[in-house]
């Protein structure tokens, strides 16, 4: 078996191979072919190759790769991808496969990096002279083993009290609270527009990372959710105060597993900004109120298994779950002297204080 390299324009012809490989891993949503295609169509990254390992009738691994430096390649850096774009047969000898990939890539590179790997899909290998791994970030998850009410009763009293208190304050203020779960393809454009309006009004807009109305990111999420909604695998959750959307989660769902792709909320109502509408109670958490109803529906749905976040662990996650796992990067070098040399150069750059 050998690696072959293909331009992005060949992606449609590789669909069956990608899907066959994904099927051996129980069709993981964060590496679904449609998600990969939407990413590449929306963001059009330069100097990208689709790498395929196998013979014409049997595929063993696939990846979307880009040149990181003259002598280094990596899985393509696409910020909207939940995981690095690498799929491999669980029985694949990883070290040999990466050796062969280094020989197949143009320019005789010294390094190939697999970024954002999930140990649930690509078990973290032992380090060797030429293979090194490093922590990326811890990502939270919720494994569903019970109905919602007994599970919720086991969470902190503070969380349950705060949610009850906020619900009471909203009712006393006469605010009509509505929670919606949109699932139809025709609803996704408006759902993404509402989501983008929330992000555009908050700190992400100031940082330049928001999904803003009319942006490439907004178009990507619209097309992605429309595609998955056609198969019954997309959900856009919203909570509305007096018909205004004040928090939203964009999700994909398959075989009892739901991935929360994006989350946004009104920073005015969270107390982070001054509200122009003084009739609404300040310092409520619409996202947490929405999530209580959302989790109840997900927990009690037939075949419910997991809720995944695929983002860095944050304090609000820990009000709902203590479950987490460490995503990681993997670097594979052409020669075993290279990682030692790289470490030495790093220590020299940091100065004498970093010397052992």
Q: What is the pLDDT of residues 179-204, one digit of tens each?
A: 999 999 999 999 999 999 999 887 66
Q: By C-alpha distance, which of 87, 90, 26 is closest to 255? A: 26
Q: Cα–Cα distances in Å, from 2 out to 39, 73, 89, 114, 340?
A: 26, 18, 14, 18, 29
Residue with tokens 């954002």: 116
Residue 338 contacts residue 111 (beta carbons within 8 Å): yes
pLDDT tens, residue by residue, 299-351:
999 999 999 999 999 999 999 999 999 999 999 999 998 888 877 676 777 76
Would you kindly state where each structural domain of the chain is located, as residue ranges? 2-137+327-354, 145-304
Q: Cα–Cα distances in Å, from 327 out to 7, 13, 258, 262, 339?
A: 28, 30, 18, 18, 21
Residue 34 contacts residue 227 (beta carbons within 8 Å): yes
Pick the CATH number of 2-137+327-354 from 3.30.70, 3.40.630, 1.10.150, 3.40.50: 3.40.630
2-137+327-354 and 145-304: same fold? yes
Instruction: Quote the pTM value.
Output: 0.90
Residues of the chain with pLDDT > 90: what percent?
81
Residue 259 contacts residue 251 (beta carbons within 8 Å): yes
Q: How far apart are CA 279 and CA 106, in angstroms?
A: 63
Q: By C-alpha distance, which of 29, 2, 243, 188 is closest to 100? A: 2
The whole-number pLDDT of residue 341 equals 82
The whole-number pLDDT of residue 345 equals 74
pLDDT tens, residue by residue, 102-126:
999 999 999 999 999 999 999 999 9
Residue 75 contacts residue 63 (beta carbons within 8 Å): yes
CATH code of 145-304, in short, is 3.40.630.30
Instruction: Please say if the pLDDT value at position 356 is more than 60.
Output: no
């Amino acid at each position: 078996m050998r690696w072959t390299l293909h331009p992005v324009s060949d992606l449609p012809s590789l669909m069956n191979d990608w899907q066959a490989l994904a099927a051996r891993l129980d069709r993981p949503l964060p590496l679904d072919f449609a998600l990969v295609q939407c990413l590449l169509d929306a963001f059009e990254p330069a100097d990208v190759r689709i790498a395929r390992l196998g013979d014409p009738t049997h595929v063993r691994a696939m990846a979307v790769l880009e040149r990181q430096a003259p002598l280094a390649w990596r899985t393509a850096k696409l910020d909207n991808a939940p995981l690095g774009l690498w799929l491999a047969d669980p029985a694949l000898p990883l070290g040999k496969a990466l050796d062969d990939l280094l020989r197949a890539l143009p320019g005789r590179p010294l390094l190939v990096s697999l970024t954002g790997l999930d140990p649930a899909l690509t078990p973290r290998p032992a380090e060797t002279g030429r293979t090194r791994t490093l922590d990326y970030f811890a990502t939270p998850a919720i494994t569903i083993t019970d109905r919602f009410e007994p599970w919720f009763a086991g969470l902190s009293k503070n969380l349950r009290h705060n949610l009850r208190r906020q619900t009471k304050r909203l009712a006393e203020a006469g605010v009509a609270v509505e929670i919606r779960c949109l699932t139809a393809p025709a609803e996704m454009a408006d759902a993404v527009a509402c989501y983008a309006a929330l992000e555009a009004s908050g700190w992400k807009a100031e940082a330049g990372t928001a999904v803003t109305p009319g942006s490439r990111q907004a178009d990507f999420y619209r097309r992605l959710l429309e595609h998955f909604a056609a198969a019954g695998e997309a959900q856009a959750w919203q909570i509305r105060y007096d018909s205004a959307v004040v928090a939203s989660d964009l999700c994909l769902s398959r075989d009892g597993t739901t991935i929360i792709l994006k989350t946004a909320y009104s920073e005015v109502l969270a107390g982070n900004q001054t509200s122009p509408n003084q009739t609404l109670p300040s310092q409520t958490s619409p996202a947490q109120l929405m999530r209580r109803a959302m989790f109840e529906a997900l927990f009690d749905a037939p075949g419910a298994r997991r809720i995944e976040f695929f983002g860095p662990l944050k304090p609000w996650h820990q009000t709902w779950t203590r479950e987490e796992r460490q995503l990681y990067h993997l670097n594979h070098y052409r020669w075993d002297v290279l990682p030692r040399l790289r470490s030495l150069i790093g220590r020299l750059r940091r100065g004498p204080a970093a010397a052992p």
